[in-house]
Amino acid sequence: MAETKLNGFKDQKWSLHGMTALVTGGTRGIGYAIAEELAEFGASVHICARNQQDYTAEDVSRIMGTNFESSFHLCQLAHPLLKASGYGSIVFISSIASLKASPYISAYASSKGAMNQFTKNVALEWAKDNIRANSVAPGFVETELLDSITESIDEGKKIVEAMISQTPAGRIGEPKDISAMVAFLCLPVASYITGQILAVDGGYII
């Protein structure tokens, strides 16, 4: 009997049964991989690769609006539902660009840095409502977004190849590498993890 109860406890802690998930960016890449396991809500991610001095005010506003402000306002809308559920878990998709500087993506990196700080504030303010917030910071992942970067700048492919060569895992990431971490953070077994920025990058930032 004791063993049965223990197994039941383990199953509940490792199960998403009965939970509802809202996945943004669910049409391709990382969002699509997550959506296959959970649920899907279409959105997008915006990146603009260029020298810092070449960014326009419109570029910066668009990047911040898409990558940061949308998450900010979506959380405001979702808070009543998350609170009512009695168990809320928010997982943002950040980037290692927010943890280690890379060329040509200063505005994108800044938007993800803002998301990292927002993660910590949400975790602090909403803990009383039993809502957790964490960010997953992917390394280089084989998605259309990465393809757009390599195609938009002359040295794009060389930069990506150089960064992969500095990755201890020795390979580029796959969307499923990221979706697995996101799914884990949604599980009850991760209930003591909040306010964290978790790099999933094959060891690149070390």
Average pLDDT over residues 135-157: 78
Structural domain of residue 34, as residue ranges? 21-200
pLDDT for residue 38 is more than 50: no
Residue 96: give its domain's CATH number.
3.40.50.720
pLDDT for the residue 46? 55
**Does residue 13 lie in a domain region?**
no
**Does residue 8 lie in a domain region?**
no
In angstroms, the CA 29 to CA 27 distance is 7
pLDDT for the residue 84? 94
Q: Which two tokens stand for residue 20?
A: 């509802």
pTM of the entire structure? 0.78
Q: Which two tokens stand for residue 71?
A: 């998450």
- Known catalytic residues? 108
* Pairing between β-strand 88-93 and β-strand 131-138 as defined by DSSP bridges: parallel
**Does residue 47 lie in a domain region?**
yes
**Does residue 66 lie in a domain region?**
yes
Identify whether the C-beta of residue 91 lies closer than 8 Å to the C-beta of residue 183: no
**Does residue 1 lie in a domain region?**
no
**Does residue 12 lie in a domain region?**
no
In angstroms, the CA 206 to CA 194 distance is 22
- Exposure on the CB side of residue 106, measured as CA atoms within 13 A: 9
**Does residue 4 lie in a domain region?**
no
Q: What is the pLDDT of residues 147-176, one digit of tens each?
A: 776 676 667 778 778 888 999 999 989 999
**Does residue 7 lie in a domain region?**
no
3-state DSSP: the chain helix, strand, coil percent, rounded to 5?
55, 10, 35
Identify the H or E element spanning 87: none
pLDDT for the residue 194? 98
Question: Total domain count for the chain?
Answer: 1
